[in-house]
């Protein structure tokens, strides 16, 4: 079995005298900066003036421009949106790198697809938490953590692995398990997971179920609770103990329906389309389309996003969630991070 590393396997020495620049203070950025600081490491946050800057100051960080944070740091973790990274890297990071620095990423996209080509005299690694940034922070505060992958693209100093592992431990990955990967494997599996299963797959499944019920005349509120709200409760059981644990808790009627109807929804054709999606990721078709979409100022992204936000499941869900104040909302936390108001 692949070796999974935990806190007790990792020596933090490689990062102890070092300064870490966390560039960006969004979903991942705020979680890395706060978790690393609370793990005892020196952190400077690199940003442009604005909402994230104000929030990072409010959270007690030293905040500098991206260029100045890079100049001061030994390890530069780039946690900007993937689509803006190449420009900001070229303008403010690369000119300020010094020999022996470490350049780090939480996703391999830009290095793997050659949108960022690092100089030869720095270490290059990734530490990719396998979870949303707000949960990287929330679980850390709760004394737990989110699993993380680490991968070395370039080991100029000979210390890249020790540095990456200390970083992964600092953000809380060593509480849940740290696995070695490559930039290629992380990039391709992460893109596949978010498109086919975790985000694209799940939202399409929920929406199709909701629409099937409402088009048949059932109440939208009932359809919302059935297809979206209860998803989290079922997924919690999967998270805690896999399929067996979930099936232990549901009724035998549900389990029989799971066995006979699940494969009618997700069948061999669905799997063949998943393979097509993976091929498009592997051969660069997806990356090419996403890069062009951004160069054109996101016409399709914005149109689809507006349409999705107006879908009946979102309208009814907003109303129902207002009546459940115990439901925590990452979007509110994200707005807080990006608009500086708490």
Ligand X SMILES: NC(=O)C1=CN([C@@H]2O[C@H](COP(=O)(O)OP(=O)(O)OC[C@H]3O[C@@H](n4cnc5c(N)ncnc54)[C@H](OP(=O)(O)O)[C@@H]3O)[C@@H](O)[C@H]2O)C=CC1
Which listed residue (132, 177, 201, 209) binds ligand LWWEY6Y5 by CB under 6 A? 132
Asked if 134 is an active-site residue, the reply is no
Residues in contact with 103: Cβ distance below 8 Å, sequence separation at least 6, in sequence order? 76, 78, 93, 97, 118, 122, 123, 124, 125
Which listed residue (86, 133, 151, 172) binds ligand X by CB under 6 A? 133
- Inter-axis angle of helices 27-38 and 160-170, to 10 degrees? 90
Q: Taking the complex as a whole, how short is the minimal distance between the CB of residue 28 and ligand X, in angstroms? A: 3
Tell me the window of 124-132, 144-152, 229-237, 252-260 that interacts with ligand X (CB under 6 A): 124-132
Which listed residue (10, 14, 25, 39) binds ligand X by CB under 6 A? 25
* Residue window 134-173: x/- pattern of binding to Mg ion, with contact defined by CB under 5 A: ----------------------------------------
Q: Does the annotation place 293 within a ligand binding site?
A: no
Q: Does the annotation place 318 within a ligand binding site?
A: no
Q: Taking the complex as a whole, how short is the minimal distance between the CB of residue 60 and ligand LWWEY6Y5, in angstroms? A: 25
* Residue window 189-228: x/- pattern of binding to Mg ion, with contact defined by CB under 5 A: -x---x----------------------------------
Q: Which of residues 43-102 bind ligand X (CB under 6 A)?
A: 47-48, 50-52, 66, 79-82, 84, 88
Q: Which of 248, 294, 130 is nearest to 197 (CA)?
A: 130
CA distance 26 to 82: 12
Marked catalytic residue, from 30, 32, 61, 107: 107
Q: Does the annotation place 27 within a ligand binding site?
A: yes
End-to-end CA, the chain: 45
Cα 234–Cα 236–Cα 237 angle in degrees, nearest 5 = 70
Q: Which of residues 180-209 bind ligand LWWEY6Y5 (CB under 6 A)?
A: 190, 194, 198-199
Cα 312–Cα 313–Cα 318 angle in degrees, nearest 5 = 100
Question: Among ligand X, ligand LWWEY6Y5, Mg ion, none, what does residue 84 contact (CB within 5–8 Å per kind)?
Answer: ligand X
Annotated binding residues for NADP(+), written as ranges, equal 25-28, 48, 52, 133
Residues that bind ligand LWWEY6Y5 (CB under 6 A): 131-132, 190, 194, 198-199
Residues that bind Mg ion (CB under 5 A): 190, 194
Annotated binding residues for Mg(2+), written as ranges, equal 190, 194, 226, 230
> What residues are labeled active site?
107
């Amino acid at each position: 079995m692949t070796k999974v590393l935990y806190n007790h396997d990792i020596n933090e020495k490689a990062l102890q005298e070092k300064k870490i620049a966390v560039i960006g203070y969004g979903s991942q950025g705020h979680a890395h900066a706060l978790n690393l600081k609370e793990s005892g490491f020196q952190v400077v946050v690199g940003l442009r003036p604005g909402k994230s800057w104000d929030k990072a100051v409010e959270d007690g960080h030293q905040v500098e421009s991206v260029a100045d944070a890079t100049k001061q740091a030994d390890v530069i973790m780039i946690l900007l949106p993937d689509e803006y990274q190449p420009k900001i890297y070229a303008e403010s990071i690369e000119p300020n790198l010094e020999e022996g620095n470490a350049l780090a990423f939480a996703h391999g996209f830009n290095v793997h697809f050659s949108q960022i080509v690092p100089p030869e005299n720095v270490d290059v690694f990734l530490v990719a938490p396998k979870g949303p940034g707000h949960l990287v922070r929330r679980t850390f505060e709760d004394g737990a953590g989110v699993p993380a992958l680490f991968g070395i693209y370039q080991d100029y100093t000979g210390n890249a692995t020790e540095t990456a592992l200390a970083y992964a431990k600092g953000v809380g990955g060593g509480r849940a398990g740290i696995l070695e990967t490559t930039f290629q494997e992380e990039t391709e599996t992460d893109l596949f997971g978010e498109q086919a299963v975790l985000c694209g797959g799940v939202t399409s499944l929920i929406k199709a179920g909701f629409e099937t019920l409402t088009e048949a005349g059932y109440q939208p509120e009932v359809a919302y609770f059935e297809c979206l709200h209860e998803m989290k409760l079922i997924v919690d059981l999967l998270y805690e103990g896999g399929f067996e644990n979930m099936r232990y808790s549901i009724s035998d009627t549900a389990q029989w329906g799971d066995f006979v109807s699940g494969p009618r929804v997700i069948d061999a054709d669905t799997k063949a389309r998943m393979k097509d999606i993976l091929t498009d990721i592997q051969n660069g078709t997806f990356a090419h389309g996403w890069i062009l979409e951004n160069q054109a100022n996101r016409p399709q992204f914005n149109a689809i996003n507006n349409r999705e936000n107006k879908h009946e499941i979102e309208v009814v869900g907003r109303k129902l969630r207002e009546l459940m104040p115990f439901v925590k909302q990452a979007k509110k936390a994200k707005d807080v991070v990006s608009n500086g108001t708490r």
